[in-house]
Amino acid sequence: MIDIEEAIERVRAAANVLPGERMPLADARGRVLAEDVVATTPLPPFDNSAMDGFALCANGNATAVGSEFAVDGEQAAGDAARAARGEACEIMTGARMPDGYDTVVPVEEIVVLERDDAQRPTRIRVTAEAHPGQHLRRAGEDIAAGMVALRAGHVLDPFACMLLDALGIVDVAVRSKPRVAVFATGRELVADPRRALASGEIRDSNGPYLEAKLREAGAEVVRRATLPDDANTFVAAVREAVGAGVDVVVSTGAVSMGRYDFVPEALVTLGAETVFHKLRLRPGKPVLFARLPQGALFFGLPGNPVSTAVGERLFVEAALRRMLGMADETRWRLPLAAEARKKPGFAFVQKAALRVHADGSVRAHPLRGQESFRIAPLRDANAWALLPEDEECVAAGTLVDVLPQSHMCQALAVDSDA
Ligand code: AMP
Ligand code: MG
């Protein structure tokens, strides 16, 4: 049995980056950039006013309190470039600075001395010292033309898209989504929620879970089925999926030591190369990882729902990141909020809630009910806490590795100095 770090390394080594495809930015939301995006225009695109007020020409000098200016016209957002006329003009936030003016004085820092018939200011006095360049947003101050706006591997979340939309990016190259097939095995499983359960049956929750989770993790789930405990049916389903060009097959159940645990044997029939089977991990000890003949990756996750969830998070998402051209995930290190006991010799992945405390610390709270069949505690979970293999008792306050619910989470970057 290998440990989870070795297992994750083997998964990463087996996963190849997928090709890129070009598409309109509007269709690429949530996808992962395959190429750097370079700004072809500066942002802001021109010098413009940061305030409603007056633009004036001070010839590069400070403007003293009490200085007076004749006001000639106005410049509003959307008005084109023009040369300065006279000493000053009224200017609005976002309006392009007329050429020849160098200072913006906010409306709060002037008094109007004279107005025309339409009540527009024609003469003002400055009531606070003003300096050239103040309240001016310079062209390219946010991003200069030629700069990399976003790097390959960046997720096109709403923040990233705001930047690209501001730059007028038409289309982007993104990684193809990994195409995944999900098979939940078990003759006890009922997929149709309207069907009453017969004696001994349970609902299939792993199948829908994986479909939703993998989609959120950047994959496209192209096949999903609930299958009986029958090796032949399973082999046929996997063959069909591979024939249809899936990159990854994820199954749940039938991967441990029970009489009906046929997955290891089905993989032999399929001609797969098993990379590992069984890990020093709880829950999820029987996880199996293999390479299918045409190169697709196979993850056999144990059927207990929490084992499935842990296996997906630790191993499948590690592969997806590589396929999507993303950097390998850096775990968070956070203090455990309460003591946790575990069996030594196995890493224990705990359902955990990250909570912000009054002292400003964020701590990982191990949740009650860590058994792998219990899914109700996941209601309160937003992360996994990884307890090290050797320990039997991890004291409150110990720093442990933490994984947020999804690898797509960019909420907290890990400080590389830490
Ligand atoms: P197995 O790994 O097939 O031995 O299954 C382990 C446990 O997980 C058993 O209690 C199964 O009934 C349960 N289980 C297996 N597959 C699923 C599923 N798709 N949804 C919910 N529970 C499952
Ligand atoms: Mg089973």
Task: Determine if ligand 1 sits within 6 Å of the CB of residue 307.
Answer: no
Q: Which residues pair with 277 in a beta bridge?
A: 288
pTM, two decimals, is 0.94
Task: Determine if ligand 1 sits within 6 Å of the CB of residue 207.
Answer: yes
Is there a contact between 38 and 155 (Cβ–Cβ < 8 Å)? Answer: no
DSSP output for 56-88: E--TTS-B-TT-EEEEEEEE-TTPPP-B--SSE
Angle at alpha carbon of residue 375, lines to 221 and 401, rounded to 5°: 80
User: How many angstroms does the Cα of residue 185 sit away from the middle of ligand 2?
Assistant: 6
Q: Give the three-class secondary structure for 147.
A: coil
Pocket test for ligand 1, best of 182, 183, 185, 189 (most atoms within 8 A of CB): 189
Alpha helices for 147-262 (secondary structure H): 158-167, 206-216, 231-243
Ligand nearest to the CA of 283: 1
pLDDT in tens, 63-92: 999 999 999 999 999 999 999 999 999 999
Task: Determine if ligand 1 sits within 6 Å of the CB of residue 284.
Answer: no
Angle at alpha carbon of residue 276, lines to 271 and 278, rounded to 5°: 125
Query: What was the pLDDT predicted at 414?
Result: 67
Ligand nearest to the CA of 184: 1
User: How many angstroms does the Cα of residue 244 sit away from the middle of ligand 2?
Assistant: 26
Tokens of 246: 């899936």
Q: Cα–Cα distance between 189 and 181 in angstroms, integer?
A: 18
User: How many angstroms does the Cα of residue 25 sit away from the middle of ligand 1?
Assistant: 41
Pocket test for ligand 1, best of 234, 252, 301, 374 (most atoms within 8 A of CB): 252
Sorting pLDDT into bands at 50, 70 and 90, what band is 412? Answer: low
User: How many angstroms does the Cα of residue 258 sit away from the middle of ligand 2?
Assistant: 8
Question: Across residues 352-367, what is the average pLDDT?
Answer: 96
Closest to 173 in 3D by CA, of 285, 336, 35: 35
Q: Is residue 178 classed exposed, middle or buried when 0-12, 13-18 and 19+ CB atoms within 10 A define those classes?
A: buried
Query: What was the pLDDT predicted at 409?
Result: 80
- Count CB neighbours of 94 within 10 A: 15
User: How many angstroms does the Cα of residue 189 sit away from the middle of ligand 2?
Assistant: 9
Closest to 275 in 3D by CA, of 287, 261, 283: 287
Is there a contact between 226 and 253 (Cβ–Cβ < 8 Å)? Answer: no
Is there a contact between 47 and 136 (Cβ–Cβ < 8 Å)? Answer: yes
Query: What was the pLDDT predicted at 417?
Result: 59
Task: Determine if ligand 1 sits within 6 Å of the CB of residue 266.
Answer: no
DSSP output for 314-380: IIIHHHHHHHTTPPPPPPEEEEBSS-EE--TTSEEEEEEEEEE-TTS-EEEEEPS---TT--GGGGG
pLDDT in tens, 208-244: 999 999 999 999 999 999 999 999 999 999 999 999 9
Residue 410 confidence (pLDDT) above 90: no
pLDDT in tens, 127-178: 999 999 999 999 999 999 999 999 999 999 999 999 999 999 999 999 999 9
Residue with the smallest CA separation from ligand 1 atom 16 is 303
Pocket test for ligand 1, best of 202, 255, 261 (most atoms within 8 A of CB): 202
Exposed e or buried b per residue across 72-86, where buried means at least 16 C-beta atoms within 10 angstroms of its C-beta: eeebeeeeeeeebee
pLDDT in tens, 184-206: 999 999 999 999 999 999 999 99
Task: Determine if ligand 1 sits within 6 Å of the CB of residue 184.
Answer: yes
Ligand nearest to the CA of 224: 1
